[in-house]
Structure 1
Amino acid sequence: MDDSENPNSEVQYHLGIGPDDTAGPVLLPGDPERVPKIAEAWESVEETGHHREYRTMTGRYEGEPLTVTSTGIGSPGAAIAVEEHANLGTGTFIRVGSCGAIQPEMSVGDLVITTGAVRQEGTSKEYVREEYPATAHPEVTTALVAACEELGYDYHCGVTCSTDSFYAGQGRPGFGGFEAAEADGLVEELQNAGVLNFEMEAAALLTIANLYDLRAGAVCTVYANRVTGEFRTEGERRAGEVASTAAAILAAMDRVKADAGADRWHAGLTLDR
């Protein structure tokens, strides 16, 4: 990359933040309005950047440093946020969002922890061949599960489908009743494969993080169930609370690993919280 494509080596072009404006793991909601809603549970917080759809706040939760940056809707914006935060030294990312469930037993307000994602979006294909898996980092998944158990929230773990289209790409009719090719069988096909939910960013995040040897995971609140027809914006803050708690758990896990001289978290290590 020549200098003309990297106009500032410190302040990031899209995020509008520099090295002193971020700390700890980064939570990635889509909506900029969710940023202060997530951060209101923290002990301290400061807005450190707001450029385009990228709103950033940094503070502490359970005494641990933490940052939240919105990415807008879709994988292209999320990929930019990961790239530019990685430039600033971030090593852990947690997507915090909402989703549509496609399994009948899932209720509005439940949480979905993504273990892997169907790459039905185009951004990750710009990075690596389609057969490359989009998988969550096991430590992030473990921390998210532990956070849900600690907070007492109902949750599901499994495979997510990430799309570029909220309408045609998720089997919904578009304007005038337009239906994409094979849309009528999409939801059933994914249900039969055990996929839990639709959303629009996880696959790109997980793919890019794996390519760059970063940790990443995703937790989303169910707003709609495509099978039962339920739709409510219920439990909006749960995913943010779980992700914030998971970030604190990851910090504790990292200290235990360091003390034990372990390269990765495993069942033989004990976490005292």
Structure 2
Amino acid sequence: MHLRPSELILNEDGSIYHLNLLPEDIADTIITVGDPDRVSQVSNFFDTIEVKKGKREFLTHTGHLNGKRLCVISTGIGTDNIDIVLNELDALVNIDFNTRTVTKNRIRLKIVRIGTSGAIQPEISIDSWLMSELAIGFDGLLHFYQHGQDQHSAMEDEFMNQTQWSTKKARPYIIDFDSNLGELFTDNRIRLGFTATNTGFYGPQGRTLRIPSSINDFTNTLAHFRYGNHQITNLEMETSGIYALAKLLGHQAVSLNCILANRATGEFSKSPSIAIENLIEFTLNTLTSS
């Protein structure tokens, strides 16, 4: 199928529209961060940097560390941005920009999110690390694609029942990480978690400044959900979208969360930059030693 210019949008130099990247600009292993300033925090560990490109909130550095080619890209905040980043990264490796057709031999990317998050269970320590084994998305992104991702439909139904989820909101979807990629990060410093992803930072995460929330005590409602051995551990804004689109596009993805806040206890990290730096170093060592 030939992709029309309005569907596959390229810049004048042939780069993909939002990310401003050419196919040769990225590696097969990609680290995503939300904050553009965090890109250099990651690439500062690289031995060499060969690509530095940016457009809007999407900044990309590609280089080498210990002989391995790596790419770090900022996504900005939210699953709406994840929709752009994941689709355009896939296009860079699996669509021929000259013929505007999907290639026959597909490339599978390894995508590792390094992000920050707030715990909703009191026993989860500040500055600890959590890998999202499952994600529950309230963002609705998955439902705009033909997906067939119904492995956890019974848990989704039970969540809606226990929380009396409003039909005016998007149906929550639950999706797994890539267990093979996740095995690389198995470590006694990392807790496996069940991450909730929502569409904003204030009302969608149960914060009230001047506008009342539509769900009373939202984080407590999430924290009390139980399904077998599963309970929701933390809340953020990207993981469900990354997992959903990675699965649909055939890529591997894991989300690593640095817990900077605990919503149950009201605590916040006293040294967030150090905690994030330590997780970055651990992630890079893991990726380059495997």
TM-score normalised by structure 2 residue count:
0.77
Mapped partners of 1:108, 1:92: distance in 2 = 28
CA deviations 1:216-273 (Å, max 9, x no partner) are 1100111101111111225021332233234335xx4xxxxxxxxxxxxxxxxxxxxx
Label 1:183 to 1:141 Cα distance change in 2 as closer, same or farther (>3 A). Answer: farther
Matched, 1:165 2:183: no
Of 1, 15, 23, the match for 2:19: 15
Residue 131 of structure 1: how far off its partner (Å)? 6.8
**Residue pair 1:99, 1:221 contacting (<8 A) in 2 also:** yes
Q: 1:106 matched to which residue of 2?
A: 124
Equivalent residue letter for 1:4: S
Residue 71 of structure 1: how far off its partner (Å)? 0.5
Equivalent residue letter for 2:142: S
**Residue pair 2:122, 2:262 contacting (<8 A) in 1 also:** yes
Label 1:144 to 1:179 Cα distance change in 2 as closer, same or farther (>3 A). Answer: farther
Q: 1:141 matched to which residue of 2?
A: 182
Label 1:59 to 1:98 Cα distance change in 2 as closer, same or farther (>3 A). Answer: same
Mapped partners of 2:183, 2:205: distance in 1 = 28
Of 263, 271, 289, the match for 1:226: 263
Equivalent residue letter for 1:188: N
TM-score normalised by structure 1 residue count:
0.82
Residue 158 of structure 1: how far off its partner (Å)? 1.5
Structure 1 residue runs without a partner (length 5+) = 253-273
Of 192, 208, 222, the match for 2:224: 192
Q: CA RMSD in A?
A: 1.9
What pairs up with 1:19-38 in 2 under 5 angstroms? 19-38=23-42
Residue 62 of structure 1: how far off its partner (Å)? 2.6
Structure 2 residue runs without a partner (length 5+) = 94-107, 149-170, 226-230
Q: 1:124 matched to which residue of 2?
A: 142
Equivalent residue letter for 1:137: D
**Residue pair 2:140, 2:172 contacting (<8 A) in 1 also:** no
Flag the structure with higher helix content. 1
Residue 210 of structure 1: how far off its partner (Å)? 0.7
Mapped partners of 2:180, 2:261: distance in 1 = 28
Q: 1:242 matched to which residue of 2?
A: 282
Equivalent residue letter for 1:208: L
Which 10-residue stretch deviates more, 232-241 or 20-29? 232-241
| Paired residue secondary structure (1:23) | coil
Of 61, 64, 68, the match for 1:60: 64
Which 10-residue stretch deviates more, 128-137 or 37-46? 128-137
| Paired residue secondary structure (1:5) | coil
Of 196, 213, 238, the match for 1:180: 213
Mapped partners of 1:110, 1:208: distance in 2 = 27
**Residue pair 1:121, 1:164 contacting (<8 A) in 2 also:** yes
CA deviations 1:8-46 (Å, max 9, x no partner) are 395111000111211131111000000000111222223
Equivalent residue letter for 1:138: S
Residue 132 of structure 1: how far off its partner (Å)? 5.4
**Residue pair 1:140, 1:246 contacting (<8 A) in 2 also:** no
CA deviations 1:34-89 (Å, max 9, x no partner) are 00001112222234311000000011223211100001010111221111111122
CA deviations 1:152-188 (Å, max 9, x no partner) are xx321121000101111111113x2x2222231x222
Equivalent residue letter for 1:180: S
Equivalent residue letter for 1:2: R
**Residue pair 1:56, 1:68 contacting (<8 A) in 2 also:** yes
Label 1:65 to 1:171 Cα distance change in 2 as closer, same or farther (>3 A). Answer: same
